[in-house]
């Protein structure tokens, strides 16, 4: 029996501030793991899409206008598929070592939101969702794995969060 097509898919973004340049010895293990971990993600059950440039990853895609920030953004079938990938294998090992490579930031650097099936979010959309989470906490518009919301009511009126984009982003 085939699974019915879902009306929504789960978008996720996480942003990190580098402790050193990507080509530094300090980040070698992280950089060397990008292609293998991305390959595992691409083949994971429930994976739909990930942001990438011509380099095959997203480390050279600008976010919040800060050269020391890197972005990871993807779309998954649901929260179960995302968490199954996140907390197993090599990705889990890299999560355990993240403090070696990335600064500890007090404010939210990751968020989730539902998108219509087939929609591929932009970096600007991800920035807006993250700013919304920082300003309002978890809501159906932008939430975390600890405070998930079901799809369906996550689409505010046009321009409702537009003012957040004008807020200075101190990351």
Strands (E), 19-164: 47-50, 69-76, 110-116
- 3-class SS letters over 77-106: CCHHHHHHHHCCHHHHHHHHCHHHHECCCC
What distance in Å separates the CA atoms of residue 94 and residue 61, rounded to the nearest whole number? Answer: 21
- Which residue, among 4, 6, 15, 14, has the nearest Cα to 114 in the 3D structure? 6
**Cα 7 from Cα 95, distance rounded (Å):** 31
pLDDT at residue 119, as a whole number:
96
Structural domains in the chain, sorted by start: 8-166 (3.30.70.100)
| Model pLDDT, residue 171 | 45
φ and ψ of 13, to 5 deg: -135, 140
Q: What is the pLDDT of residue 15?
A: 97
Predicted confidence (pLDDT) per residue in 6-55, tens digit: 899 999 999 999 999 999 999 999 999 999 999 999 999 999 999 999 98
How would DSSP label each residue in 25-36?
A: GGGHHHHHHHHH
CB 132 within 8 A of CB 142: yes
Backbone angles phi, psi at 41, to 5 degrees: -60, -50
């Amino acid at each position: 029996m085939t699974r019915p097509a879902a009306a929504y898919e789960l978008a996720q973004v996480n942003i990190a501030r580098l402790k050193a340049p990507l080509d530094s010895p300090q980040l070698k293990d992280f950089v060397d793991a990008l292609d293998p971990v991305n390959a595992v993600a691409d083949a994971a059950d429930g994976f739909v899409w990930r942001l990438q440039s011509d380099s095959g990853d997203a480390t050279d895609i600008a976010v919040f206008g800060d050269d020391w920030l890197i972005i990871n953004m993807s779309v998954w079938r649901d929260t179960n598929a995302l968490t199954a990938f996140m907390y197993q294998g090599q990705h889990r090992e890299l999560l355990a070592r993240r403090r070696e490579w990335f600064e500890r930031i007090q404010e939210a650097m990751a968020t989730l939101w539902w998108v219509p099936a087939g929609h591929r979010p932009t970096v600007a959309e991800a920035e807006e969702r993250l700013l919304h989470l920082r300003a309002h906490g978890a809501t159906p518009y932008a939430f975390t794995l600890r405070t998930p919301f079901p799809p369906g009511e996550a689409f505010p009126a046009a321009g409702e969060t537009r003012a957040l984009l004008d807020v200075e982003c101190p990351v």
